Structure 1
Amino acid sequence: MKREPVPDTAALDPAAKEAQFVHRVYAEIAQHFSETRHSGWPFVDGFLQRQAAGSVGLDIGCGNGKYLGANRAVHMIGVDYSRELVAICAERGFDCAVGDGLRLPVRAGAFDFAICIAVVHHYASEDRRVRALREALRAVRPGGALLVYAWAQEQQGRRRFDAATQDHLVPWETRAGAVHQRYYHLFRKGELERLLAQAGGCRVAESGYERDNWYVVATKTALP
């Protein structure tokens, strides 16, 4: 099958790049994407199981909601930019809402904890990545935890990327053979910690690597 050339994104500003190569793509692939997302990653599941019974958590960029029911002893609310993915969550009986990760539709400090799994790497500038982390922290109460995952530049699995850049278009092929390009910024070791320090109001409690992702658990230390 003949492949279309990878688009040139150099002329696009970050918001336009995300609109074309993130938001539009997930609107088009939502059902197929959901069908491929079943099992949670071990560290994320462990983090959710450690949360106190009765606590309230926020899943930022919840996708098809695979983590929203991971611990039935806590109440999870999901937010995602994709109306199509939020509709899938609602069909599955989860509490969810359409929302922008740069302007979450929640009160400051309303949640005991939050997760943001494989989302921050879709923001197309460092400023927007810092803003997304700051907004995620805003949603959590002081003393609460935020778990963030992002694709690693140091991939150890089957994917191979040009090491000369951290910014890539990654193809998603549908069952019908259509190919959609998704924007990713691949994070280097220590980059999440550095951006969280720029976001402010938190301290890193734990960090590590799982399934070609860097992750950080940050504890919120102050009100925004």
Structure 2
Amino acid sequence: MSYPTGSHDTDRAEAKAAEQPSSPSLSANANTSASVDTSSGSSTRPQPSIRDAAAQSPETYEDEHVHSVYESIASHFSSTRYKPWPFIASFLRERVTSGSIGLDVGCGNGKYLGVREGGDVHIVGSDRSPSLVGIARERGFDVAVADGLALPFRARCADFVLCIAVIHHMSTRERRIDALRKLLACVRADGGQVLVYVWALEQSSSRRGWDANSAQDQLVPWVMKANQNKKKDKDDDRDSGGNAVVDTTYERFYHLYREGELEEDLRAAGGRVIESGYERDNWWVIGGHGEEAKP
């Protein structure tokens, strides 16, 4: 079955002011980096790369550069994520049959949970961010707070699982493969499917400008404007005490997937690639259990 290749420009246009591209010449995301003493012009001891820093304590690194960030930006982030991406909506409408039970792991504000409205398909959402889960719950969705590496769902409980823009936040390959393994464990062996989306390394045509030669592990800024929800007036640039207010920048960890890497990781997790492709700066895969899987 083919699906229309839709653009994610709506979400990206809304978030353009928030997600700022990194400057290649100033990136701290190279395999090694050195700090420079500008007063003397001499280099100090090289600093660890993002990959090395994450490997030292993945859980702590993700707490700082993923989980706490989404808690801080939840409301702003949710306001930029309101329209389902066309390919994923097509998957839900065309491939998911009536009576199916599904999961959305990393559901955010729940924008995919209502695609099949009418009660013929039930989707349970989960997210690591209590604030985003709260937003989804206020919209009337069935959601729970859960870590992607410690899902509370019964094995083989679902006909399908969505995991959109989540696994690229895992800071080591072992954790990314484990996350895929956890998704596969949730779907039935006889025909269950998982649909996974991750950011692509190959984004040379996008405003971010990454390509095959860029570092795969990146810290991507999210800028919270100081007066995000205010109409501009002469007093907007100062707080109640008369002090200048400034924008706040949060840095989120991303592992940018090169072509073929997502399929490799799915197979390493024991899965089988059913279909895969590229859509607007993202690699996606639809996978199921390997041939050796038993009901």
Match of residue 27, structure 1, among 71, 74, 98: 71
Q: Distance in 2 between matches of 1:166 and 1:140?
A: 30
1:141 alignment partner, SS class: coil
Q: 1:46 and 2:115 equivalent?
A: no
How many angstroms does 1:83 deviate by? 0.4
More strand by share: 1
Aligned to 1:151: 199
Match of residue 174, structure 1, among 207, 224, 231: 224
Match of residue 108, structure 2, among 63, 84, 92: 63
Aligned to 2:144: 97
2:159 alignment partner, SS class: strand
Equivalent pairs counted in the alignment come to 219
Q: Distance in 2 between matches of 1:153 and 1:164?
A: 7
Segments of 5+ residues of structure 2 without an aligned counterpart are 1-26, 30-47, 227-246
RMSD: 1.7
Amino acid across the alignment from 1:190:
G
Q: Distance in 2 between matches of 1:43 and 1:121?
A: 19
Contact kept? 2:53, 2:61, Cα under 8 Å: no
Amino acid across the alignment from 1:170:
V
Aligned to 2:260: 190
Match of residue 214, structure 1, among 283, 286, 291: 283
Q: Percent identity?
A: 53
Contact kept? 2:196, 2:286, Cα under 8 Å: yes
How many angstroms does 1:160 deviate by? 2.0
Aligned to 2:269: 199
How many angstroms does 1:21 deviate by? 0.2
Please say which of residues 79-88 and 156-165 is displaced more in the overlay. Answer: 156-165
Contact kept? 1:102, 1:132, Cα under 8 Å: yes
Contact kept? 1:109, 1:223, Cα under 8 Å: no
Task: Classify 1:106/1:6 alpha carbon distance in 2 versus 1 (closer, same or farther; 3 Å).
Answer: same
1:44 alignment partner, SS class: helix
Q: Distance in 2 between matches of 1:58 and 1:68?
A: 9
How many angstroms does 1:58 deviate by? 0.2
Q: Distance in 1 between matches of 2:215 and 2:281?
A: 17
Aligned to 2:24: none
TM-score (norm 1): 0.93
How many angstroms does 1:42 deviate by? 1.1
Contact kept? 1:187, 1:214, Cα under 8 Å: yes
TM-score (norm 2): 0.71
Amino acid across the alignment from 1:21:
H
Please say which of residues 8-17 and 134-143 is displaced more in the overlay. Answer: 8-17
How many angstroms does 1:175 deviate by? 2.6
Q: Distance in 2 between matches of 1:92 and 1:52?
A: 24
Tell me which structure has the larger Cα radius of gyration. Answer: 2
1:89 alignment partner, SS class: helix
Aligned to 1:135: 182
Task: Classify 1:223/1:34 alpha carbon distance in 2 versus 1 (closer, same or farther; 3 Å).
Answer: farther
Q: Distance in 1 between matches of 2:160 and 2:172?
A: 26
Q: Distance in 1 between matches of 2:151 and 2:184?
A: 11
Match of residue 209, structure 2, among 160, 166, 180: 160
